[in-house]
Structure 1
Amino acid sequence: MTATSTRQPVGTPRHLSAPQTSLYTNLEVSSNRHPEKAAIHYYGSSVSYRQLRHQVDAMAGFLQQHCGIARGDRVVLYMQNSPQFVIAFYAVLRADAVVVPVNPMNRTSELQHILEDSGARVAFVGEERMEHVRPLLGRQVDYVVPARYPDYLRERTDLPLPEVLTSSGPHHAESVGDHTLIAWNDALSRECIPRDHESGPEDLAVIPYTSGTTGRPKGCIHTHRSVMHSTVSCAEWPNLANESVMLCSVPLFHVTGMQNCMNMPIFIGATMAIMTRWDAKCAAHVIERHRVSTWITVPTMLIDLLNQAGVDRFDLSSIAYLSGGGAAMPQAVAQQIEARWGIPYVEGYGLTETMAATHINPPKHSKQQCMGVPVFNTDSLVVDPETLEPLGEGETGEILVSGPQVFDGYWKSPEATREAFVVIDGKRYLRTGDLGYVDRDGYFFIVDRLKRMINASGYKVWPAEVEAMLFEHPSVQEACVIATQDPRRGESVKAVIVLRKGEHATEEEIVSWARERMASYKTPRVIQFAASLPRTASGKIQWRLLQEEETGSRSVRPEGRRLD
């Protein structure tokens, strides 16, 4: 029996015709339609669509004329959220080149790997990251354009600013041998005119790198066609209007932010309210001041906002659509959202390999802690991870996806590409590596990552399920569940817990509370309190890092108490 999503909620269309053009064309169209409209709000300053396109074109001309960028060349973006990120992204596309977005938290060796692997010789870099680029000048990279984020603070503001916008950094315009640093404003001031735009749907557009959980990060090959389909889906699924104002708080280098907070609003001609760094208090100010209507974000940011002291003093009533993914939204928080805004938190699911969403909950038929149903033109299966046989309704297996947003493969990694795909009934599916099931209504649910399973005396424990239940404890702000070795049971459940500010709880209290709410084999036997949990730049909890620490360092580091 095949577990396909043939059953769709009422009113949810299955098919979508995306424009057969390059992604840059979306900016061209929106700037022609809304030239004086604010494309970007940035801590009290604004950039209109006319200004955005003018600077994009000038920077594209600079790339071509000064840096020698040609069609298909790769260009690195190593910056935090800022107007410069948006301008650089679209300038690379306008120059018929390929964007290689890099996590700004990466350091020299990580950046070096991506530069070498992608072959990029030009990079846009936030000035605060220059220390990690300097060792690579003249070796891995020929031209660097450093960007000072405060340059786009054209108006005075009373908004709380992140430190990166208040500290005065050096102005980089010096040369290093034959390899030159050209300051952002100097590059723009040359007013270079780019050649005619040639890219089409089949040309490469973006090569984002995976997090590298199984070795060195790998580049995901995305064409204008795959990025465009995801971009249009993000707008059409919730039917967002071009008068929308979108809070851009998740990182733009990550596909969730890239698609939902940059490419999608530019496609519909909406306004982006960009935050360089996450700050709950600042977000509340921005939502109130700009009447933010749409916020695609990760659960942790919403949790931060709802827990912000004095949040009730802000008028946040303009929020009309909340969505996101990366982790399941705890039911207790989802209920808070419904009570405050009268709307659901619409959960979705996607991967770097799929340029964001493959599944989203229908806004009017949303289910909690659910990845949703396949989006336009997308098919999904649940199969046995070993035999690849399709499973039936309610049976847990690996989730597969097939659709226009799925990447072409891994850059320079044919073997990894072959392993990532499987053909079933003549259709090519991506193996997501996520375990889940599909219910009778065609909705997909994640149980956990493949191999992220705890085997306690033969009983299978899915950490995400235990985390969701722990989240309901009144003193628990966050929890990450991992396996700990147990001489009797093989493995037991361990919970690393962050307590709410001002709250107190003991290991015994947490375990006692948990025992009343979940099966004994699911109850955490070890509790470790922490000030915070490690996260990726996109806000996901790095459970694998905690698991590796638990597995490899138990003899040399303080442990939580075992409570049997």
Structure 2
Amino acid sequence: MEFNHADLFEGLADAIGDRTALVACDADGVVRLTYGELDAHANRLAHHLAEAGVGPADHVGVHLYNGLEYVATVLAALKIRAVPVNVNYRYVEAELAYLYRDASLVSLVYDTVFEDRVTAAAREAPTLRHRVVCGGSSPSAVRYADALSSSSAARGFPARSGDDLYIIYTGGTTGMPKGVMWRSEDLFMAFGGGNPYGEPRATPQEVIDAARASGGVTMMTTAPLMHGAAQMTTFLTWWMGGTMVFNRRFTAAETLRTVERERVVTVGITGDAMARPLAEEIATGEYDLSSLAAISSTGAILSGAVRERLQTLLPNVMIIDSFGSSESGYTASGVEGSTPESGLRYRPNNAHIQVLDESLRPVAPGSGVIGQVAKSGPIALGYWNDPEKTARTFVEVDGTRWLLTGDIATVEGDGTISIFGRGSQCVNTGGEKVFPEEVEAVLKGHPSVFDAVVTGIPDDRFGERVAAVVQPYDDAPATADLDAHCRARLSGYKVPRTYAFVERIERSPSGKADYRWARKVAEEA
């Protein structure tokens, strides 16, 4: 009766084995696998890992672009009760060495294009004893194809449980990455419980029966699988008996070609960084997007200007802002009409979501008291190898365990939650708090601004001042024009005092802002 991701996928492979589970697209073509074929593929890799000495609770790094090999490695690790660990493919040698050590990786499956970085980082990772390389060969690794060809496609794995561990590494833009630890069953429940449109499924068999009865939906995530939201979207698609579609890496044109070819119904994106280039490409009018019913943004909020343009281009498509984190799972959806410029408001998806005040008591609706968003119920266990951060983030109040998300908010009279921004990114200028998301959204509404990231930099008088790093469309606009644009829409203390113009805003592959980079650029300006 316990929910385990590997058990559930095997149940689906038995029930709907002939249905397409995966479509992976890259420069070499398109790979299509049914549930049965993907299960057999993952079985082969799982047996190889087990024969190489990888066992229950061992950590297996996944250092790959999107594709068949990524999802097969995650499934293979889960099948033998090992723990898949996502690795950011943009990390340089020092960052990789830190993650390999911090995560206590025993095995690593990686793309040959990362060979030099992997080899250098592996020298500083004493626990890493086994590697599998995809797309090439290495004297220090087993070729992926050889790992498969030498192993059985049958199952024969030990029994699993809902307590099996799943780790999602997150962060790195404001500090070193951290591994979020989940019980498998809690993770399943936190991301929809097998049924994102209603009550969680009561038993694993209900998940399988519902998937069998469904017609199957074709979904696509544009974010890298190295981010938890993309991994969970993949599983959620499978729990609904659907087909998950990936491109190796994101480009707007290739995304839209794939939507057209595969008749994709739902696309997952990450904020303006993906929505804006998609809107520009859609405006060319070259694509048949008649299958598309919904675009869902997670991990970064759509600005009002970009959302409006996307909605104008796709009037019959539902555009959704979803709220959550690697520690909390999916928690809420945006209220219609809310934007960073006008005020972000979310409707919690269950009673486990609260705003807690400084005394860790729930904020009364309509009181105007500001606190931080917290979640109880199915939440992460804590952070791997970091008991201090775990103790700060996960607290117990009157017998209830809460995750403190760090999102600053209040509760409106109708029960909706108004989000001001992340407390960790808040700029304190002369005692006034400025949340970067609001200022970023206003800047991106200027016709000359393609992208913007707002941060705080030291100021002798006010402690911090608001600074903006701006990527213009063409020539940089005059700072006086940006100042006037902001002052017409923001209180004076929120208006940037410093501007830095760059050719390209640095973001993570999923589209999240890199605030460490932005702060450095702004300080230099």
Contact 2:469 / 2:521 at 8 angstroms: preserved in 1?
A: no
TM-score, with normalisation over the residues of structure 2?
Answer: 0.88
1:222 paired to 2:177: no
* Structure 1 pair 485–367 and aligned structure 2 pair: CA distance change class (3 A): closer
Instruction: For structure 2, list consecutive stretches of 5 or more residues without a partner in the other structure.
Output: 200-210
For the pair 1:99 / 2:84, whether they are aligned, the reply is yes
Question: Could you tell me how far apart the structure 2 residues matched to 1:133 and 1:328 are?
Answer: 33
- Answer yes or no: is the 8 Å Cα contact 1:360–1:373 preserved in 2: yes
2:511 match: 539
Which of 118, 126, 131 is the aligned partner of 1:144? 131
1:80 aligns with 2:52: no
Distance 1:73 1:371, change over 3 A: farther
What amino acid is aligned across from residue 178 of structure 2 in structure 1? K
Decide whether the 8 Å contact of 1:361 with 1:371 is kept in 2. Answer: yes
Q: What corresponds to 2:417 in structure 1? A: 444
The yes-or-no answer on 1:110 pairing with 2:95 is yes
Instruction: Output one character per residue of 1:488-517: Cα deviation in whole Å (capped at 9) or x when no partner.
Output: 5444322211122x4652212111222222
What does residue 415 of structure 1 align with? Answer: 388
Give the letter aligned to residue 303 of structure 1. R
Change (3 A) 1:548 1:503: closer
Q: Hey, what does 1:10 align to over in structure 2? A: none
5+ long unaligned stretches in structure 1: 1-18, 149-170, 560-564
Call closer, same or farther: CA 1:214–1:45 in 2, change over 3 Å: closer
| Structure 1 CA distance for aligned equivalents of residues 50 and 145 of structure 2 | 17
Structure 1 partner of 2:433: 460
Give the one of 11, 14, 22 matched to 1:29.
11
SS at structure 1 position matched to 2:327: helix
Q: Tell me the CA shift for residue 27 of structure 1.
A: 1.7
Report the Cα distance in structure 2 between the residues aligned to 1:133 and 1:504, rounded to whole angstroms.
Answer: 39
1:203 pairs with one of 154, 164, 178: 164
Number of the residue aligned with 1:6: none
Tell me if the contact between 1:466 and 1:481 (Cα under 8 Å) persists in the aligned partners.
Answer: yes
| CA displacement at 1:213 relative to structure 2 | 5.9
Map 1:278-357; keep pairs closer than 5 Å. 278-299=250-271, 300-308=273-281, 311-339=284-312, 340-354=314-328, 356-357=329-330
CA deviation profile, 1:53-89 (whole Å, cap 9, x unmatched): 1101111111112x11222222111111111001111
Residue aligned with 1:311, SS: coil
| Cα distance in 2, alignment partners of residues 32 and 408 from structure 1 | 31
Give me the whole-angstrom Cα distance separating, in 1, the residues matched to 2:80 and 2:155: 7
Using the alignment, how far apart are the partners of 1:46 and 1:56 within structure 2?
14
Distance in 2, Cα, partners of 1:426 & 1:411: 23
Looking at structure 2, the residues matched to 335 and 344 of structure 1 have their Cα atoms a distance apart, in angstroms, of: 12
CA, structure 1 residues 397+71, in 2 after alignment: closer, same or farther (shift >3 Å)?
same
> 1:287: how far off?
0.8
- Aligned to 2:2, which of 6, 10, 20? 20
Tell me, yes or no, if the aligned pair for 1:146 and 1:182 is still in contact at 8 Å: yes
Are the aligned partners of 1:249 and 1:276 in contact in 2 as well (CA < 8 Å)?
no
1:187 aligned partner = 147
Secondary structure at 1:372 match in 2: strand
> How far, CA to CA, are the matches of 1:443 and 1:343 in structure 2?
24
Contact 1:250 / 1:298 at 8 angstroms: preserved in 2?
yes
C-alpha distance after superposition, 1:348-393 (max 9, x if no partner): 2222222x3122348xx685454633335x51222334x4344333
C-alpha contact (below 8 Å) 1:348/1:361 kept by paired residues: yes
**After the TM superposition, which of the residue ranges 132-141 and 446-455 deviates more from structure 2?**
132-141
- TM-score after normalising by structure 1: 0.82
Relative to structure 1, is the Cα distance of residues 476 and 522 closer, same or farther in structure 2, using a 3 angstrom cutoff?
same
The Cα of 1:429 is off from its aligned counterpart by 0.6
- Residue 343 to residue 444, structure 1, CA distance change in 2 (3 Å): farther
Contact 1:514-1:523 at 8 Å conserved across structures = yes
Aligned residue in 2 for 1:372: 346
Aligned to 1:308, what secondary structure does the other structure show?
helix
Separation of aligned partners in 2, 1:187 and 1:228: 29
User: Does 2:229 match 1:256?
Assistant: yes
Instruction: Report if the CA contact (8 A) 2:323-2:334 is conserved.
Output: no
The reply to whether residue 515 of structure 1 matches residue 487 of structure 2 is yes
Selected match of 1:122 from 73, 82, 107: 107
- Kept in 1, the 8 Å contact 2:194–2:240? The answer is no
CA contact (8 A) 1:71 1:97 kept: yes
Q: Which has the larger displacement, 474-483 or 247-256? A: 474-483
Compared CA separation, residues 411 and 187, structure 1 to 2 (3 A): same
Contact 2:293 2:318 in 1 (8 A): no
Q: 1:41 to 1:483 in 2, by over 3 A?
A: same
- Structure 2 residue aligned with 1:152: none
The residue that corresponds to 2:204 in the other structure is: none
Which amino acid in structure 2 is aligned with residue 546 of structure 1? Answer: A
Q: Could you tell me whether the CA contact under 8 Å between 1:434 and 1:450 is conserved in 2?
A: yes
More displaced 10-residue stretch of structure 1: 100-109 or 503-512:
503-512
Q: 1:158 is matched with which residue?
A: none
Alpha-carbon distance, 1:252 to partner: 0.8
Q: How big is the shift at 1:187? A: 0.7
286 and 212 in structure 1: CA distance in 2 versus 1, 3 angstrom threshold: closer
Confirm or deny: 8 A CA contact 1:344 1:366 kept in the other structure.
Answer: no
